[in-house]
Amino acid sequence: MRERCARVGVLFALACGLGAAAAALASEEPSGVRPRQIIETSAQQVLAILRDPARTQEQRIAELEKLAYDRFDFRTMTRLVLSRSWKKLSAEQQDDFVEQFTRYLANDYSSRLDRYEQQDVTVLDERAEPRGDVTVRTRMQGGEVDGAIIDYRMRERGGTWRIIDVVIEGISLVANLRDQFREVLTREGPEKLLEKLREKNAAPVESPAPSALAAPLPDWTGRPAAATLRQE
Partner 1 sequence: MDRPSPSRLIALALGFALAAPPLAAEPEGARTQIAAAEASTDWEGGERLVWDPLEPMNRGIFQFNETLDAWLLEPVATGWDRVLPNRVQRCIANFFTHLVLPVRFANDLLQLKPVKAFDDTGRFVTNSLIGVGGLFDPATRFGIPKHDEDFGQTLGHWGVPAGPYLVLPILGPSNPRDTLGLAVDSVGAIQSFFLSLPVLASAGAVNAINDRSLTLEQVRAERASAFDFYAAVRNAYSQYRAARVRDREIEPKRESVDEDLYYLDDEEEDGDA
Which stretches of the chain bind partner 1, using CB under 8 A?
A: 75-76, 79-80, 83-84, 86-87, 108, 111-112, 115, 127, 129-131, 133, 143-149, 153, 157, 164-165, 168-172, 174-184, 193, 196, 200, 205-208, 211-213
Judged by beta carbon, residue 198 or residue 223, the one nearer partner 1 is 198
Judged by beta carbon, residue 40 or residue 195, the one nearer partner 1 is 195
Q: In angstroms, rounded to a whole number, what is the distance separating the alpha carbons of residues 191 and 147? A: 40
Judged by beta carbon, residue 172 or residue 223, the one nearer partner 1 is 172
Give the gyration radius of the chain's Cα atoms.
22
In sequence order, the 6+-apart residues with CB closer than 8 A to the CB of 96 are: 194
Q: How far is the CB of 146 from partner 1 (least distance, A)?
A: 5
Judged by beta carbon, residue 96 or residue 223, the one nearer partner 1 is 96
Q: How far is the CB of 62 from partner 1 (least distance, A)?
A: 18
Q: How far is the CB of 231 from partner 1 (least distance, A)?
A: 27
Residue whose C-alpha is closest to residue 38's, from 152, 168, 173, 169: 152
Q: How far is the CB of 229 from partner 1 (least distance, A)?
A: 22
Give the H/E segment covering residue 19: helix 2-32
Q: In angstroms, rounded to a whole number, what is the distance separating the alpha carbons of residues 35 and 135? A: 8
Judged by beta carbon, residue 208 or residue 222, the one nearer partner 1 is 208
Judged by beta carbon, residue 123 or residue 149, the one nearer partner 1 is 149
DSSP per-residue codes, 41-53: HHHHHHHHHHH-T
Q: In angstroms, rounded to a whole number, what is the distance separating the alpha carbons of residues 152 and 139? A: 11
Q: How far is the CB of 55 from partner 1 (least distance, A)?
A: 20
Residue 123 contacts residue 34 (beta carbons within 8 Å)? no
Determine the longest span between alpha carbons in the chain, in angstroms.
79
Q: How far is the CB of 141 from partner 1 (least distance, A)?
A: 11
